[in-house]
Copies of this chain bind each other. A is one copy, B any other.
């Protein structure tokens, strides 16, 4: 659905096509309801603002989501907002008008053991570049993630771990990552690269309900491998415990399962 039209088309001059000039969100729809929709919209709006893109009004997107739900009440929804069409080269035309895309796809079918036993992570060779102006934003310039995902082709490994050029742990290719050290739940500082996902925010928010102190900081892969527990998160999978990173085994722990339940049931 493009600008509210079923089967609408994207013009080749759309700046999403030409420059990746836009933002997106990926969300879970269950029984016709998008999970954490108000929070998702707030993130979409914040990301648009960070790039000076006019965000579509919440009620317009809600109307389109309701229409989508009639056909596909249980699916993964992706919303893309592009800055709009045209401009001479990189310059933005004064009259630019944002385009919005609302797409549905079937929920990915991962083995149930990914949630119960945990997952293996490939350690990606590509290093994420530092760009403070884009860090944290879920924008459409995702070639680093694509190249990272092309590094392995093994269905038993659903995710890759991304480090930055300095060796700091950043995230997964499609998820954020947490480690537990004692009573601290630590996730990487994303002020120079990475995408600050909604479930990362929620885990930071709910950590204290499990008696954990949430912390955002830089840490390396060797530090990560010494953690007592590791998990990754996003809005489609929820939380996956991590049981292996490269060749290194990771001890299971109780927090991943607790956090699965909290993210599933908590009303923010």
Contacts and interface: CB of A to CB of B under 8 A. Distances in A.
Interface of A: 2, 9-21, 24, 51-52, 78, 80, 82-83, 88-92, 101, 103, 108, 126, 129-131, 133-134, 139-150, 165, 173-174
B92 A146 contact: yes
A51 B147 CA distance: 8
Q: Is the interface of A mostly helix, strand, loop or mixed?
A: loop
A90 B2 CA distance: 21
Shortest 6 CB-CB distances between A and B: which pairs?
A20-B20, A9-B9, A129-B129, A141-B141, A90-B149, A19-B142
Which of A12, A19, A131, A147: most chain B Cβ within 10 A?
A12
B21 A142 contact: yes
A198 B126 CA distance: 26
A4 to B, nearest CB: 13
Contact of A146 (B21, B129, B165): B21
A91 to B, nearest CB: 5
